[in-house]
Homo-oligomer: A and B are copies of this chain.
Amino acid sequence: MAGRVTSVDVAARAGVSRSAVSRCFTPGASIAPETRRKVTEAAKALGYRPNAIARSLIAGRSRMIAVVVGYMQNQFYPDLLDRLARELQARGYHLLLFAASPEGDSDALFPQILAYQADGIILASATLSSALADECNAAGIPVVLINRTTDGTGVSSVTADNVNGARAVADFLLAGGHRRFAYVAGTAASSTNQDREAAFRGRLAEAGIGEVLREDGGYSQEGAAEAARRLLTRRDRPDAVFCANDHMAIAFMDAARHALGLRIPQDVSVVGYDDVGPARWPSYALTSVEQPVEAMVDIAASALLDRIEGRETAARIARVPGALVVRSSARRPAAGIMTIDGRDVWTP
């Protein structure tokens, strides 16, 4: 019964044109709220079932973007997913979610992404193998990586400007008079971790600091707490620690204070990366380099949709700068901090 109701019936009952009915059920099409209300009412009354899927077969478009995420405990990813869903919805697409396995195994995902005929793919998992990106790209499906890069060609990527961000952390800690430095690493294979670590070490080396202690935190809070125990019980314990992300920095701070009885920043300074919500919680007041989620999502969505909709054929590589936001988890330099829009920012 419901299947036999057509858009003509709905248009007649709603007192609008058939094209208004079509627009109401087309993702991203513009329609006046009052018209939408009329069409929706009529469609409900008649039991009308529109069919975006049939339309997608005709148009060769599913208007779905496959998004692969993992690591949802790190608040950066829920924030990113939320923004992505809203941005894609506003542009007439919807987000088909795939959860990456913790091991980063992509073999099982590729056939599924193909089967659903996603128009494009966004990979937003710092630990996912880049093989999936290359496979999708080879299959002709536009791909954007967020928060990591790949060596493969033809794949767009949007990251924070990790190199300048990590250099700023080094400068900030040097200006604060710190002497012994440590880095708590994320997963070694992730490009984000590599970029942050190399830039941090590189800038310190330029300043004559040859030795930087290192512990592996594996992007997990357990790993970061363990790294804190190892680093901070050394006789020559560091006085400045850069954690590859805030998620680890928070666990590092908790272990330093609550398991080891150290004061932050008097005994040890801690800096993170991402500037996620918990970094602003007064218990942490974490100094951190922001990853500007809103700008990153804007660029990622444009890079993807420009290719899907044929406005652009080339892949785009974007690095989005973010401020080093100064709070109280690290000793503050005497100069170089400015208050901008209510935030203290490192601007030497």
Contacts and interface: CB of A to CB of B under 8 A. Distances in A.
Interface of A: 2, 24-27, 33, 36-37, 39-40, 43-44, 47, 49-54, 56-57, 62, 64, 67, 72-73, 75, 77-79, 81-82, 85-86, 89, 94-99, 107-108, 110-112, 114-117, 135, 138-140, 250-251, 253-255, 257-259, 277-278, 281-284
B95 A96 contact: yes
Contacts of A250: 281
A316 to B, nearest CB: 24
A115 B78 contact: no
Given A85-B97, A85-B98, A44 B138 contact: yes
Given A77-B78, A82-B99, A95-B97, 13 more contacts: A37-B107, A52-B117, A53-B62, A53-B116, A73-B277, A75-B78, A94-B96, A94-B98, A95-B96, A96-B97, A258-B283, A283-B283, A283-B284
Contact of A94 (B24, B52, B112, B283): B112
Contact of A49 (B2, B24, B139): B139
Contacts of A254: 281-283
Task: Count copies of this chain in the complex.
Answer: 2
Contacts of A47: 139-140
Contact of A97 (B94, B140, B257): B94
Contacts of A36: 107-108, 111
A140 B3 CA distance: 12
A67 B2 CA distance: 23
A97 B99 contact: no
- Indicate the member of A26, A110, A281 with the most B CB atoms within 10 Å: A281
A117 B284 CA distance: 45
Interface of A is mostly: helix
Contacts of A258: 282-283
A16 to B, nearest CB: 13
A2 B138 CA distance: 12
10 smallest beta-carbon distances between A and B, as pairs = A78-B78, A52-B115, A85-B99, A258-B282, A283-B283, A72-B78, A72-B82, A254-B282, A25-B115, A95-B97
B50 A57 contact: no
A50 to B, nearest CB: 5
A302 B44 CA distance: 27
Contacts of A281: 250-251, 254
Contact of A27 (B37, B50, B115): B115
A138 to B, nearest CB: 7
- Indicate the member of A33, A51, A257 with the most B CB atoms within 10 Å: A51
Nearest to A77: B78
A61 B119 CA distance: 20
B108 A64 contact: no
Contacts of A43: 111, 114
B140 A2 contact: yes
Contacts of A253: 283
